[in-house]
Homo-oligomer: A and B are copies of this chain.
Amino acid sequence: MSPADRHPRQDGPVRGRPRSEAVERAIMEGVLKLLEDGVPLAELSIERIARTAGVGKAAIYRRWSGKEALFVDVVRAAEPPDAELPGTSVRDDVVALLEQVRRRGLMTRSSVLLHNVIAQMKRSPKIWEAYHTEVVEPRRRKQHALLLRGQRSGELRADIDVDVMNDIVFGPMLVRAVMRPDAELPEGLAEQMADAVLEGLRPVSSPSP
């Protein structure tokens, strides 16, 4: 089955789109190639990217507002895509979002390129800010909406500020994935963390007061 069969277009001939996607891919791969060759982020000019990708500078500026926006897209494409939430219970959706953080952590550990890119990104305030606005904040908003849904449905306590609850639920995996690069991220960790914060760390067998 060809990619076209998997995503059949509704009607008419395909107009210029594959060509445009090919250009986009060539540009993003150009950035990756330069990074793989060890070119520091600060030296990645639009001109150099265009030359490497074999396109004109205008082709880049037509698609991205500048180096920062393009770079954020390259990193986003290199990271695991955001998973669909099962939507059954808040617990299952929390597990799905924690699992994404775990997978991104694993990827950063295994991909030297992604690791270096993220380290370089942190040193460039403009790109770091763009990454936060484009990637990190939407993720946090998704987490926020989920916890709010849980408070409204009665699956979660409503006496804790959603913003604080966000750090309680997602902070542990975030710390482990991002701040502690040597920590293990075993399979099943998302489920374990979700259940631990939902049920609490008191012994299960302890008698109720």
Question: From A161, which residue of chain B is reached at the shortest CB distance?
Answer: B192
> CA of A163 to CA of B189 in the docked complex: distance in angstroms?
12
Copies of the polypeptide in the assembly: 2
For residue A135, CB closer than 8 A to chain B, the reply is: no
Most buried by B among A178, A180, A189: A180
Q: A123-B123, A172-B167, A172-B168 are in contact. Are A202 and B198 (CB under 8 A)?
A: yes
Decide: B171 and A171 in contact? CB cutoff 8 A: yes
Q: Tell me whether chain A's interface is mostly helix, strand or loop, or mixed.
A: helix
Chain A: interface size category: 35 or more
Minimum Cβ distance to chain B for residue A4 (Å): 42
Decide: B172 and A171 in contact? CB cutoff 8 A: yes
Question: From A203, which residue of chain B is reached at the shortest CB distance?
Answer: B157
